[in-house]
Structure 1
Amino acid sequence: MGSDATASVPAVSAVGVRKGFSNSRMPETEVLHGIDLTVARGEMVSIVGPSGSGKSTLLACLAGLEPASTGTVTLAGHDLGRLSPSRLTRLRRDRVGFVFQSYNLIPALTAGENVLLPARLRGQKVTTDDARRALAAVGLEGKETALPATLSGGQQQRVAVARALFAAPDVVFADEPTGALDGKSGTTVLGLLRAATDTGSAVVLVTHDLDAAALADRAVVLRDGVIHHELVRPTAGDLFDLVTAAA
């Protein structure tokens, strides 16, 4: 496939996606009701809505962390429903970056080792200099050998961002990445995610922070598992009106 053709393939798309959950004591409850969404390469899309609207569930389906009950999710040109578990794991490892509110760093590994771990699992040859440069890019010079427990929350989240962006993935999925951070650290993390689109990565951001959501090229407002609005170049004020009206 040529570069023009590759560029025309969406980073991630959902067509008619429905998702339900059930257990032995209750029938299935459907959380997503027919979602259609496409995110282009180099585009940042935020997903907002009231609590319980299905934001994190949608993110999990788009990232291949949860299978859609019906419909199609395509990630980096691959139909997730057609992949075996092992191929899906490799796709997420090789083409996707994740940034979550809980950081998900491995406590026994240093900051540098955490950054390089996905690349090493891919079989990529990396060095401590690679880790140093990646951490310097997020303002953590000299922290290569620090264990996560010795870092502040903001520093741990920046390590997580460095890890997610290290290999310039097709898509970065971020679920409330600034929820536990102070204003300065949150601004730094959001700036790094925004800058990732300059190298062609798509960013899908779930957040309650409407100022953060307004940094995106496009915002999607969910209500009761349905997309009610999509805004191009949104403002925090526009999003506030839509989200509070949906509550």
Structure 2
Amino acid sequence: MPKTWFITGASKGFGLEWAEAALERGDQVAVTSRSASAFDDLVAKYGDAVLPLRLDVADRAAAFEAVQEAVDEFGGLDVVINNAGYGLFGMTEEVTEQQAREQIDVNLFGALWVTQAVLPHLRARGSGHIIQVSSIGGVVSLPGLGLYHASKFALEGFTASLAAEVKDFGIKVTLVEPAGYATGWAGPSAVQAQHLPAYDDFRAAMTRISARRGDPSATRAAILTLVDTEQPPLRIFFGAGPLDMVTKEYQARLDEWRKWDDVSKLAFGA
């Protein structure tokens, strides 16, 4: 049975790939971007199956208006994907107040506002699937991306709570945690803090996880499988490598907690 989607940040990258995948199989899609004209090609190809919407996800009132417009146009929503976001690159000391606030506004609050806007509609239908596009950076942290990690760790935290809160309403919730893909996230879409010379040596010595980047189009089959699954997972990685990385990260955390367990218990009076 055809589904109706609402996808933020759909003018490029994952959002565009997933919108096209849905449309190609006969679904309806409300696509959002800061410029609705970004979807002219989609509208020309798929006609009334596409609803282009201009939306700055950091604007809560605008998020509610866009969701209502999509519901009015299509009669309801089945899949909601909070994909809008970007990376802020800079050491913690380098990031300005405005850069920090804008990163959280888009990556965290943008997803929160859209989620709040769709919940009454999904509850009324007794169904729906909310997909939050997180990142491997929502599970592990690297230097030079602290505020980006903060936004994604926070997204993971509220989404885990959300999943428990709405389960009894028939609403499914999933965190998609992609590895590195050639989406422009680290290129044209990124924001760079001004470099402080004090970190130049450290920056030069930094090693990247991998120079390899996945093909965003390869995620089409995966996202369709996910939305068609009767019991989707709360968390799923997209890409090769994240499971090994996270296994090492969590083992290191457990080892450190165990090493300091005596002090932990001392703090409790044990």
Q: TM-score normalized by structure 2?
A: 0.31
Bigger fraction of residues in helix: 2
Larger Rg: 2
Bigger fraction of residues in strand: 1
Q: TM-score normalized by structure 1?
A: 0.33
- Greater relative contact order (Cα < 8 A, sep 6+): 1
